[in-house]
């Protein structure tokens, strides 16, 4: 068997055996093995994030046992239990929602397996249940969206703007914090009224459904701004606006989050007004934390990547502005 396939195949077999409760334990002294529970494959952001984790594990020479939970928290919990049973060196996971993790993370602590949260945070009274968090400052992302809107309203000399929010997965960190940051910036400004906030679950198909419902409820003249928590939903929204003859970016301002290629192209075409960046490239930082843990070095409890925003005030011909 070619060497390069040996470890992945062993890990796959071990994971499958673990999942049915008959797994061997990882031998100490073997290569570092990371158990990674990814929450799903709901967006281009998520796919890019998964690829980043996989590539970084390979670059570090770590074995990676990866499970895709397809948006189901119970599948993430089951995967974490399998990682514990196999005695991986480190568990990495992106919690789909913030609550409901304490029990399984207590089992990981009991087993002596450190846990790194990537991308999303958990709500817990005991932050010793995880060793580190690496992911965006979603509150700052929400604030950037609000700050853009104020700048745009000033430039347009707008007297009043009605806003609809198409939010992400309810109770997820990005949904909660992108909403909180945005509201903290605009809520005291009398020019703005948020008339509706509906979850599109970060899915393109639901983004279409939500904006279709809002247009039916309020009409195309009923609101002036759409604040969408991710580009996948925004692309679905654009499809609906196009079908209804509504000119996005002018008839209706569109503020989005992530920075995937298709959305950046729409920004350059003037169809999206602002994209708040949210980098999916967290793999290198995660595996650097894993290496530090294995070396017995201290790791920061919370790490945020540097992010900014692309807007229609920028030089959109900038080649550095390309998206993922």
Q: How far is the CB of 289 from ligand GZL (least distance, A)?
A: 17
Cβ-Cβ contacts under 8 Å for 32 (sequence gap 6 or more): 60, 61, 62, 63, 89, 90, 290, 291, 294
Q: Which is nearer to ligand GZL, 86 or 139 (CB)?
A: 139
Q: How far is the CB of 165 from ligand GZL (least distance, A)?
A: 14
Q: How far is the CB of 322 from ligand GZL (least distance, A)?
A: 17
The helix, strand and coil proportions of the chain, stated in percent and rounded to the nearest 5, come to 45, 20, 40
Angle of helix 231-243 relative to helix 204-218, nearest 10 degrees?
A: 50
Q: Which is nearer to ligand GZL, 45 or 192 (CB)?
A: 45
Q: Which is nearer to ligand GZL, 11 or 203 (CB)?
A: 203
Q: Which is nearer to ligand GZL, 11 or 136 (CB)?
A: 136
Four-residue CA torsion sign, 55, 60, 65, 67: negative
Q: Could you tell me the two tokens for 246?
A: 């509504």
Q: Which is nearer to ligand GZL, 101 or 202 (CB)?
A: 202
Which residue's Cβ has the minimum distance to ligand GZL?
45
Q: How far is the CB of 277 from ligand GZL (least distance, A)?
A: 10
SS3 76: helix
Q: How far is the CB of 232 from ligand GZL (least distance, A)?
A: 6
Q: How far apart are CA 169 and CA 179, in angstroms?
A: 12
Q: Which is nearer to ligand GZL, 18 or 279 (CB)?
A: 279
Q: What are phi and psi of 222, to 5 degrees?
A: -80, -20
List interacting residues with ligand GZL (CB under 6 A): 42-43, 45-46, 119-120, 135-136, 174, 202, 230, 232, 257-258, 278
Q: H or E element: which one contains 105?
A: helix 102-110
Q: Which is nearer to ligand GZL, 167 or 232 (CB)?
A: 232
Q: How far apart are CA 11 and CA 8, in angstroms?
A: 5
Q: Could you tell me the two tokens for 235?
A: 């692309």
Q: Which of 66, 77, 13 is nearest to 38 (CA)?
A: 66
Q: How far is the CB of 112 from ligand GZL (least distance, A)?
A: 28
Q: How far apart are CA 284 and CA 147, in angstroms?
A: 30
Q: How far is the CB of 168 from ligand GZL (least distance, A)?
A: 6
Q: Could you tell me the two tokens for 40?
A: 């799903």
């Amino acid at each position: 068997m070619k060497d390069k396939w040996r470890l992945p195949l062993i890990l796959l077999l071990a994971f499958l055996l673990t999942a049915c409760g008959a797994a061997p334990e990882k031998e100490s002294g073997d290569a570092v093995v990371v158990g990674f529970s990814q929450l799903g494959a709901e967006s281009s952001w998520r796919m890019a994030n998964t690829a980043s984790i996989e590539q970084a594990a390979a670059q570090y020479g770590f074995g990676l046992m990866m499970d895709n939970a397809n948006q189901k928290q119970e599948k993430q919990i089951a995967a974490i239990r399998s990682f514990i049973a196999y005695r991986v060196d480190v568990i990495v996971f992106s919690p789909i929602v913030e609550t409901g993790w304490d029990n399984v993370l207590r089992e990981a602590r009991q087993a002596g397996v450190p846990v790194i949260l990537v991308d999303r945070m958990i709500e817990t009274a005991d932050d010793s249940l995880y060793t580190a968090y690496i992911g965006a400052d979603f509150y700052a992302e929400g604030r950037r969206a609000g700050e853009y809107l104020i700048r745009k309203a000033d430039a347009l000399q707008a007297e009043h703007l009605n806003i609809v929010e198409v939010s992400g997965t309810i109770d997820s960190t990005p949904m909660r914090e992108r909403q909180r940051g945005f509201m903290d910036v605009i809520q005291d400004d009398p020019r703005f009224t948020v008339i509706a906030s509906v979850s599109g679950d970060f899915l393109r198909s639901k983004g279409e459904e939500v904006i279709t419902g809002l247009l039916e409820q309020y009409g195309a003249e009923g609101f002036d701004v759409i604040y969408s928590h991710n580009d996948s939903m925004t692309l679905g929204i654009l499809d609906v606006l196009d079908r209804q003859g509504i000119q996005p970016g002018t008839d209706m301002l569109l503020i989005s989050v992530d920075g995937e290629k298709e959305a950046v192209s729409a920004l350059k075409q003037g169809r999206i007004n602002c994209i708040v960046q949210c980098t999916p490239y967290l793999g290198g930082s995660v595996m650097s934390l894993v290496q530090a843990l294995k070396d017995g070095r201290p790791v920061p409890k919370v790490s945020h990547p540097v992010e900014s925003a692309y807007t229609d005030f920028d030089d959109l011909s900038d080649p550095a502005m390309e998206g993922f």
